């Protein structure tokens, strides 16, 4: 994907030794994982009042790849990324599972770091340098009383102590240019920038230390559609240039098709479908994915009818017994009310779905709406 936004400056490489290294320079092997999440669960509260916001999530992200996580509000997307980076506040609590970040040092040695059991001092070493997060609202993330330049300066001063003031300034200018902003923004306060410019600043700060993984939690939600598109395009270009892996969270599935290699769809705290971005977009398998795709207009291509998803997500304090999507699902069968489907691989495409429609033993017939590409279930049972 190439950047299409008009930049105020083209990026330039500095010779101060802090220019971001590319994925190739880091010796990125595409199939190496940068992050592994294994049976990870997160609760709010304990005992009778406990809410399981993330339930048994397993995900793997390879270096330089983009994983999109989509789902309605309340599906557990933010809880997942806050908990796995240990930024979750009380009453949030990790109740099970492991998260491993594979950290590469300057000599190119890769060391696994268990983020769940890491101490605060170990976490400080990996945050910013190896994993950084861009939050939903740059307004709340940027300090309103500090000029933009100070945001860069603080991060660089803390983590790159050998840099002089002039070098830190030069690096900040380079980072701003990377996201299409002029040097003069360094002397402005956040309120003097537009929403899109503030969000670009946050992205530039997140890239300051050349992290291996960047997590974006709905970074474009508050922006107009044109700016959203520009930033998505810009992020794709930066990823291609610098080779970082990315987790991009959004409720708008159509945005992810522009940016992600793979998409995981979350509903009521669980992953209900995971597939390559294009495959998932063109042939959704889970009825919830189908509903999400009919909830937002596509950025490109054919228009489709926007029907949304009837009903509301379940109350996680009192979740349904069977499939949590059953009360809203047009394809629900008898067993859906009682048995919870697990995430299983469907066919040999690397796609996983948690839905009884794709279970050979259920005797279900896959509805035409979900069968635009052949699957094991569809080919063995035929379509309705
Ligand atoms: P959004 O897009 O609105 O941020 P999300 O998909 O990121 O939604 P989360 O914010 O992770 O979802 O919330 C997941 C679930 O956890 C929701 O059902 C929410 O009600 C619950 N939850 C979040 N914070 C708390 C809290 N402090 N106490 C109890 N429950 C909480
Ligand atoms: Fe719908 Fe049943 Fe599939 Fe759940 S398991 S999504 S209720 S068909």
| Closest by Cα among 322, 313, 315, 309 to 356 | 322
Do 40 and 99 contact (CB within 8 A), yes or no? yes
Say how far apart CA 49 and CA 244 lie, in whole Å. 39
| Claim to verify: residue 230 and residue 294 sit in the same structural domain | no
For ligand 2, the distance from its centroid to the CA atom of residue 333, given in whole angstroms, is: 7
Structure tokens of 253?
């599935």
Residue nearest to atom 8 of ligand 2 (CA): 332
Cβ–ligand 1 contact at 291 (below 6 Å)? no
- Per-residue confidence band for 153, with pLDDT thresholds at 50, 70 and 90: very high
Best residue among 267, 288, 320, 326 to mutate for probing ligand 2's pocket (most ligand atoms within 8 Å of CB) is 326
Using the predicted structure, report yes or no on whether residue 16 has a pLDDT greater than 70.
no
Say how far apart CA 124 and CA 85 lie, in whole Å. 11
For ligand 2, the distance from its centroid to the CA atom of residue 114, given in whole angstroms, is: 35
For ligand 1, the distance from its centroid to the CA atom of residue 92, given in whole angstroms, is: 10
Taking the CA of residue 331 as reference, the ligand 2 atom at the shortest distance is 8
Residue 149 covered by a domain? yes
Whole-prediction pTM: 0.86
For ligand 1, the distance from its centroid to the CA atom of residue 86, given in whole angstroms, is: 16
| Claim to verify: residue 156 and residue 219 sit in the same structural domain | yes
Do 244 and 61 contact (CB within 8 A), yes or no? no
Do 120 and 105 contact (CB within 8 A), yes or no? no
Residue nearest to atom 3 of ligand 1 (CA): 73
| Claim to verify: residue 87 and residue 199 sit in the same structural domain | yes
The whole-number average pLDDT for the span 144-165 is: 92
Do 134 and 198 contact (CB within 8 A), yes or no? no
| Claim to verify: residue 86 and residue 224 sit in the same structural domain | yes
Residue 22 covered by a domain? no
Cβ–ligand 1 contact at 78 (below 6 Å)? yes
| Residue 297, preceding peptide bond in cis (omega within 30° of 0) | no
Using the predicted structure, report yes or no on whether residue 269 has a pLDDT greater than 70.
yes
- Other CB atoms closer than 10 Å to residue 57's CB: what's the count? 24
DSSP state of 298: -
For ligand 1, the distance from its centroid to the CA atom of residue 79, given in whole angstroms, is: 6
Taking the CA of residue 91 as reference, the ligand 1 atom at the shortest distance is 27
Residue 16 covered by a domain? no
- The pLDDT of residue 31 is 79
In this structure, what are the phi and psi dihedrals at residue 131, rounded to the nearest 5 degrees? -140, 130
Residue nearest to atom 31 of ligand 1 (CA): 44
Say how far apart CA 241 and CA 230 lie, in whole Å. 17
Pocket of ligand 2 (CB under 6 A): 286-287, 323, 325-326, 329, 331-333, 336, 341, 355-357
Best residue among 42, 45, 48, 51 to mutate for probing ligand 1's pocket (most ligand atoms within 8 Å of CB) is 51
For ligand 2, the distance from its centroid to the CA atom of residue 305, given in whole angstroms, is: 22
- The pLDDT of residue 365 is 78
| Claim to verify: residue 208 and residue 86 sit in the same structural domain | yes
Reduce the secondary structure of 48-70 to three states and give it as a string.
HHCEEEEEEEEEEEECCCEEEEE
- Of 198, 231, 251, the last residue of a domain is 251
Triad 336, 290, 260: Cα angle to 5°: 120
Encode pLDDT of 180-191 as tens digits.
999 999 999 999
- Per-residue confidence band for 384, with pLDDT thresholds at 50, 70 and 90: very low
CA separation, residue 230 to residues 68, 260, 308 (Å)? 18, 15, 26
| Closest by Cα among 316, 281, 382, 338 to 43 | 316
Say how far apart CA 30 and CA 56 lie, in whole Å. 26
| Claim to verify: residue 77 and residue 169 sit in the same structural domain | yes
- Ligand positioned closest to the Cα atom of 330: 2
| Claim to verify: residue 53 and residue 119 sit in the same structural domain | yes
- The pLDDT of residue 146 is 92
Structure tokens of 359?
């279970």
Encode pLDDT of 71-118 as tens digits.
999 999 999 999 999 999 999 999 999 999 999 998 999 999 999 999
| Claim to verify: residue 317 and residue 222 sit in the same structural domain | no
Residue 6 covered by a domain? no
Q: How many domains does the chain have?
A: 2
- Per-residue confidence band for 11, with pLDDT thresholds at 50, 70 and 90: very low
Say how far apart CA 262 and CA 66 lie, in whole Å. 7
Cβ–ligand 1 contact at 171 (below 6 Å)? no
User: The domain containing residue 141 runs over which residues?
Assistant: 33-251
- Of 201, 235, 251, the last residue of a domain is 251
Taking the CA of residue 330 as reference, the ligand 2 atom at the shortest distance is 1
Residue 4 covered by a domain? no
Residue 124 covered by a domain? yes
- The pLDDT of residue 25 is 44
| Claim to verify: residue 112 and residue 206 sit in the same structural domain | yes
**For residue 133, what is the enclosing H or E element?**
strand 131-134
Residue nearest to atom 19 of ligand 1 (CA): 74
Taking the CA of residue 335 as reference, the ligand 2 atom at the shortest distance is 2
Strand partners, 102: 112
Residue 21 covered by a domain? no
Structure tokens of 73?
């509000």
| Claim to verify: residue 208 and residue 131 sit in the same structural domain | yes
Using the predicted structure, report yes or no on whether residue 3 has a pLDDT greater than 70.
no
Taking the CA of residue 337 as reference, the ligand 2 atom at the shortest distance is 7
CB-count exposure of residue 2 (10 Å: 0-12, 13-18, 19+): exposed
- Of 200, 234, 251, the last residue of a domain is 251
| Closest by Cα among 321, 263, 262 to 292 | 263
- The pLDDT of residue 302 is 62
Number of residues in the chain: 384
For ligand 1, the distance from its centroid to the CA atom of residue 78, given in whole angstroms, is: 7
Residue 340 covered by a domain? yes
**Distance spanning both ends of the chain, measured CA to CA:** 38
| Claim to verify: residue 166 and residue 49 sit in the same structural domain | yes
Say how far apart CA 128 and CA 285 lie, in whole Å. 36
Encode pLDDT of 286-326 as tens digits.
999 999 988 876 666 666 666 678 888 999 988 889 999 99
- Other CB atoms closer than 10 Å to residue 123's CB: what's the count? 15
Cβ–ligand 1 contact at 150 (below 6 Å)? no
Give the CATH number for residue 201: 3.40.50.300
| Claim to verify: residue 298 and residue 185 sit in the same structural domain | no
Best residue among 339, 343, 344, 357 to mutate for probing ligand 2's pocket (most ligand atoms within 8 Å of CB) is 357
């Amino acid at each position: 994907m190439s950047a299409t936004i008009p930049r105020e400056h083209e990026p330039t490489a500095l010779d101060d030794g802090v220019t971001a290294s590319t994925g190739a320079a880091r010796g990125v092997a595409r199939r190496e994982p940068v992050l592994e999440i294994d049976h990870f669960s997160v609760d709010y509260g304990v005992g009778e009042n406990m809410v399981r916001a993330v339930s048994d999530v397993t995900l793997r992200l390879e270096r330089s790849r983009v994983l999109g996580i989509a789902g309605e509000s309340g599906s557990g997307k933010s809880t997942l990324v806050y908990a796995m980076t240990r930024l979750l506040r009380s009453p949030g609590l990790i109740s099970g599972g492991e998260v491993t970040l594979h950290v590469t040092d300057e000599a190119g040695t890769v060391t696994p770091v268990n983020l769940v059991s890491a101490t605060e001092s170990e976490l400080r070493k990996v945050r910013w340098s190896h994993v950084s997060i861009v939050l939903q609202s740059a307004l709340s993330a940027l300090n309103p009383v500090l000029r933009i330049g100070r945001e860069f300066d603080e991060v660089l001063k803390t983590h790159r102590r050998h840099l002089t003031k002039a070098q830190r300034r030069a690096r900040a200018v380079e980072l701003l240019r990377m996201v299409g902003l002029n040097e003069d923004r360094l002397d402005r306060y956040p309120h003097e920038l537009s929403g899109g410019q503030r969000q670009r600043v946050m992205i530039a700060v997140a890239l300051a230390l050349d992290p291996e993984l960047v997590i974006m939690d709905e970074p474009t939600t508050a922006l107009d559609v044109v700016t959203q598109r520009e930033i998505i395009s810009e992020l794709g270009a930066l990823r291609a240039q610098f080779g970082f892996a990315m987790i991009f969270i959004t409720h708008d599935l159509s945005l992810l098709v522009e940016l992600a290699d793979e998409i995981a769809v979350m509903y009521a705290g669980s992953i209900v479908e995971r597939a390559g971005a294009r495959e998932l977009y063109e042939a959704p398998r889970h009825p919830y994915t189908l509903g999400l795709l009919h909830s937002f207009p596509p950025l490109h291509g054919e228009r489709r009818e926007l029907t949304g998803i009837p009903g509301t997500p379940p109350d996680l304090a009192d979740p349904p017994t069977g499939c949590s999507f059953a009360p809203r699902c047009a394809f629900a069968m008898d067993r859906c009310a009682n048995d919870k489907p697990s995430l299983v691989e469907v066919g040999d495409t690397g796609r996983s779905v948690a839905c009884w429609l794709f279970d050979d033993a259920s005797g279900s017939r896959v509805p035409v709406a979900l069968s635009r590409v052949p699957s094991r279930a569809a080919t063995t049972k035929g379509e309705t």
